[in-house]
Amino acid sequence: MGFIRTHKNDILLIFALLILALGTWGLMLSSRKDGGEAVVTVDGAETARLPLSRDAVIIAGGGEHTNTVVVENGEVYVSEASCPDHVCIRQGPARYDGQTIVCLPNRLVITVSGTGGGPDAVVQ
Amino acid sequence: MKTERLALYGLLTSLALILSYLESLLPLSFAVPGVKLGLPNIAVLFALYRLGGRGACTISLVRVLLASILFGNLFSLAYGAAGASLSLLVMLLLKKSGKFSVAAVSVAGGVAHNAGQIIVAIFVLETRGLIYYLPPLCVSGVAAGLLIGLSAALLIKRADIGKK
């Protein structure tokens, strides 16, 4: 392409960024584990803790800012939301420890935490 | 400020604003939120090379402010301002070094924009887990930044507007 002068530095910068990003991404994917529960927070305050082993549906938030959070087959996802962009719905399901689903307009965060495979309940 | 320069500032700001609007109509975020082309950066890059650092900063920050008022909210202002400021800083430094072409400046600016937004989101939402979005956003930032950078390079070369 004649309209840009390509410097060797350009190629170096682009490859360095790509290798760094793909490397950490690969590391993240290979080290992930199934999570145990989904922690739902709205405005920084925890509103629900849903074990991924049990199917559930809750409506998080209040007033005009609501997200429908669904737990199904060991995964958590947002099925409906009042926000304009619906990024939270398009993010799809989360099941691994540390994974998050975010709805910026409604200030909702769902974080999968803990390791899976534990007991559903402990009777003392 | 000369009238011609003032007119160019206004023209590029409105161009950046229109590109913001166009971008808001094109949702690209599927698995990860925040994936976007960065269309307004074409106007910002043009300003950076034609008007200099001060012009690029003015146009970028006025664009963020107006876009938040018109199509967003207070939070999008915080994310947008953080992304735009970090991106401007990185682009200014890379351009000043004189060792990189427009495409590389744009790539670094795109990645910095995403990083700035993630950092603010980590604080606003108090969720450190958002750092996991950074690697995929870095890859999309490189791809989008390259596309935007090549378009801007073409414009800077071909469009005579603002040339002395």
CB within 8 Å: B127 and A100? yes
Q: Point out the residue among A14, A85, A105 whose CB comes nearest to the CB of B107.
A: A14
CB within 8 Å: A102 and B107? no
Structural domain count, chain B? 1
Using a CB-CB cut-off of 8 Å, the residues of chain A touching B118 are: none
Interchain CB contact of B152 with A (< 8 Å)? no
- Asked casually if ipTM beats, i.e. exceeds, 0.85, the reply is no
pLDDT over 70 at A119, yes or no: no
Confidence bin at B25 (pLDDT 50/70/90): confident
pLDDT at position B28:
77
- Flag whether A7 is in a domain: no
Strand A100-103 versus strand A56-62 pairing type: unpaired
Interchain CB contact of B18 with A (< 8 Å)? no
Lowest mean pLDDT, pick from A1-15, A99-113, B122-136: A1-15
pLDDT at position B33:
76
- Flag whether A40 is in a domain: yes
pLDDT over 70 at A5, yes or no: no
Lowest mean pLDDT, pick from A2-6, A31-35, B30-34, B39-43: A2-6
- The string of DSSP codes covering A37-55 is EEEEEETTEEEEEEETTS-
Using a CB-CB cut-off of 8 Å, the residues of chain B touching A86 are: 27
Question: In the block, which residue shows the tokens 């890379």?
Answer: B94
- Flag whether B163 is in a domain: no
- Residues of B (75-104) whose Cβ lies below 8 Å from A: 75-76, 79, 99-104
A46-63 confidence digits (pLDDT tens): 999 999 999 999 999 888
Q: Point out the residue among B32, B139, B153 whose CB comes nearest to the CB of A4.
A: B153
pLDDT at position B31:
65
Q: How far is B23 from chain A (nearest CA, A)?
A: 12
- Flag whether B7 is in a domain: yes
Expressed as residue numbers, the domain containing B26 is: 3-158
* Contact indicator for A67, A104 with CB cutoff of 8 Å: no
- Flag whether A11 is in a domain: no
Q: For residue A100, what is the domain's CATH number?
A: 2.60.320.10
Interchain CB contact of A93 with B (< 8 Å)? no
- Flag whether A17 is in a domain: no
- Flag whether B164 is in a domain: no
A71-94 confidence digits (pLDDT tens): 999 999 999 999 887 888 988 899
Residue A107 corresponds to which tokens in the numbers above?
Answer: 């200030």
Using a CB-CB cut-off of 8 Å, the residues of chain A touching B153 are: 3-4
Q: For residue B57, what is the domain's CATH number?
A: 1.10.1760.20
Distance CA B91, CA A54 (A): 49
Structural domain count, chain A? 1
Local structure of B25: helix, strand or coil: coil
Arithmetic mean of pLDDT, B16-34? 83
- Flag whether A106 is in a domain: yes
Lowest mean pLDDT, pick from B29-33, B91-95, B116-120: B29-33
pLDDT at position A16:
95
- Flag whether A25 is in a domain: no
What are φ and ψ of residue A118, in 5° steps?
Answer: -80, 175
> Please, what is the average pLDDT of chain B?
91
Using a CB-CB cut-off of 8 Å, the residues of chain B touching A91 are: 29-33
pLDDT at position A1:
47
pLDDT at position B126:
81
Using a CB-CB cut-off of 8 Å, the residues of chain A touching B87 are: none
pLDDT at position A124:
61
A63-72 confidence digits (pLDDT tens): 888 999 999 9
Q: Point out the residue among A28, A85, A109 whose CB comes nearest to the CB of B135.
A: A28
- Flag whether A110 is in a domain: yes
Confidence bin at B15 (pLDDT 50/70/90): very high
By CA distance, what is B31's nearest residue in A? A91
- Flag whether A43 is in a domain: yes
Is the pLDDT higher at A63 or at B27?
A63
Arithmetic mean of pLDDT, B107-132? 90
Expressed as residue numbers, the domain containing A49 is: 35-115
Confidence bin at B142 (pLDDT 50/70/90): very high
Q: Point out the residue among B31, B100, B121 whose CB comes nearest to the CB of A13.
A: B100
Distance CA B137, CA B133 (A): 6
The proportion of chain A whose per-residue pLDDT surpasses 90, expressed as a percent, equals: 50
- Flag whether B139 is in a domain: yes
DSSP state of B126: T
Local structure of A15: helix, strand or coil: helix
pLDDT over 90 at B88, yes or no: yes
Strand order in the sheet with A108-115: A45-51, A35-42, A108-115, A100-103
